[in-house]
Amino acid sequence: MPTTTGWGISVGALVLATAGYLLGYPELVVLAVGCLLAVAAGLLVVARPAHVSVSLDLAPSRVARGGDAWLIVSLRNRGARPTPRLALEVTLDWATGTNSIARSIGALASGDDWTVTFALPTARRGFLRAGPATIRVQDPFGLAERRRSVSHGGVTLSVHPVTVALPAPTSSGNRGPDGATSDAAPDGAVTFRALRDYRPGDDLRRVHWRSSAKLGNLLVREHVEPALPLSTVLLDCRRSAYRQTGEPAGAEDDLFELAGDVAGSVALASSSRRYPLRLRTSDGLRLDTHEWDAGAAPVLDFLTRAGLNDTPTLNVALARIGRTGPSAGRGMLTLVTGERAAGELTATSRAARLFDRVTVIQVVGRTPPPGTSTGPNGSDGGPVVDQKGRVTVCAVSALADLPQVWNRATSTRGRPR
């Protein structure tokens, strides 16, 4: 169809033709006819099919927030003749909206390949879908064009939190001499627990052949790991928790990105060591790591999906954690929130009775939240750690400070004597 320029020339040509006819100026009529013929020729050019294939690829497909990620678009003219002038457009679908990136290509000779690379935005966590790709076939003068989708579907970039290495959390709670007794204990542990029926995928080396022969069905040895610390990480996704007085609009988004980084670092401290982990958000998302060899990907993908919302309070999320699962009240609870949640620490203190240790990490701006100290005596410039009854409260303003704050917070007793 005609472009904006093509439509303008067509309308102008009709005006010229009318004026030339009424005023007796045949030159104007000839000029108008020439303009209309140019638009018609452009329509004929773009009507010719362009046999172009397009492929989309990512390098890499997963990236930490702020890292480099590239969309690689490759085109090939599979036709026997050169193509008209082409332009490429790729749709980018992000959680905050949809936009597109475009590039002029020009004509491709028969069998020619053309590749272009686009830098993708990675400042925010989330899933960025690139595609489908659209080809605009254009005439040489830009009077007509035809749009055609040339890729089915697209590719998805996962922008996950930035993490830092932390020591695994420990718990002071008592354990039985045989360790964990849940079915979530990892295979390959050293302590024998019991015999159970064989399940597809079990290691045949763990089959107890003598007992299997007696009972007539396969039985395998089940082992557990002694004293595995259970870690529960709760990420506060309430927009109100990260809103700061005097800060510009959108500042809470930056603090929430830091909160996601902190939650990911704490969660990986457990999952990377094959410790049981429960990961939760205040709006109800949940992940339990039972696939012990899955690596960091499930944890990072879970946090990639987390976004700010208008959930009013943390009480529901804390109550849900306290009553769900056979081991709801074991191990360590880590709450990652903003400094505006300080007034809800009373609810956290009630939850502390269900856990061996409770740590609240508040992500803050350049100044610590009210009521926290900045060193052992509140004045030495050390990490912000404070003890509020049964809860250890610490503040982080940059991810680089987290290891020091975490080491200090986890060395503080979660329960007073």
* pLDDT tens digits, one per residue of 61-81: 999 999 999 999 999 998 888
Mean residue pLDDT across the chain: 80
DSSP code at position 144:
B
**Residue 181 pLDDT:** 46
> Could you read off the pLDDT of 288-300 as tens digits, one per residue?
876 444 578 889 9
Q: 95 pLDDT band (50/70/90 cuts)?
A: confident
Helix-strand-coil split of the chain, %, nearest 5:
30, 30, 40
Element (DSSP H or E) covering residue 281: strand 277-281
Phi/psi for 122 (5° steps) reads: -130, 20
Phi/psi for 303 (5° steps) reads: -70, -25
Instruction: Determine the average pLDDT of the residues in 234-256.
Output: 82
**What own/partner pairs with CB < 8 Å and gap ≥ 24 does 102-105 have?**
105/75
**Residue 277 pLDDT:** 85
* Assigned token pair, 185: 């204990």
**Residues 162, 261: contact at Cβ < 8 Å?**
yes
Question: b/e map of 303-316 (b: 16 or more CB within 10 Å)?
Answer: bbebbbeebeebee
- pLDDT surpasses 60 at 172: no
Q: What is the dihedral of CA 174, 179, 180, 181, to 10 degrees?
A: -110
Q: Is 123 helix (H, G, I), strand (E, B) or coil?
A: coil
Q: Is 128 helix (H, G, I), strand (E, B) or coil?
A: strand
CATH dotted code for 231-410: 3.40.50
More confident residue, 306 or 48: 306
Provide the sign of the torsion angle of the four alpha carbons 253, 257, 262, 263, taken in this order. Answer: positive
259 φψ region: left (φ > 0), alpha (ψ -120 to 50), beta (else): alpha
Distance of CA 304 to the CA centre of its chain: 2
Q: How many residues does the chain have?
A: 417
**Residues 291, 298: contact at Cβ < 8 Å?**
yes
Instruction: Determine the average pLDDT of the residues in 373-377.
Output: 41
Q: Is 169 helix (H, G, I), strand (E, B) or coil?
A: coil
- pLDDT surpasses 90 at 162: yes
Q: 125 pLDDT band (50/70/90 cuts)?
A: very high
- What gap in Å lies between CA 1 and CA 139, rounded to an integer? 11
Q: What's the CATH architecture for 52-160?
A: Sandwich (2.60)
- What gap in Å lies between CA 353 and CA 330, rounded to an integer? 10
Instruction: Determine the average pLDDT of the residues in 37-56.
Output: 86
**Residue 190 pLDDT:** 56
Most confident of 66-70, 96-100, 210-214, 309-313: 66-70
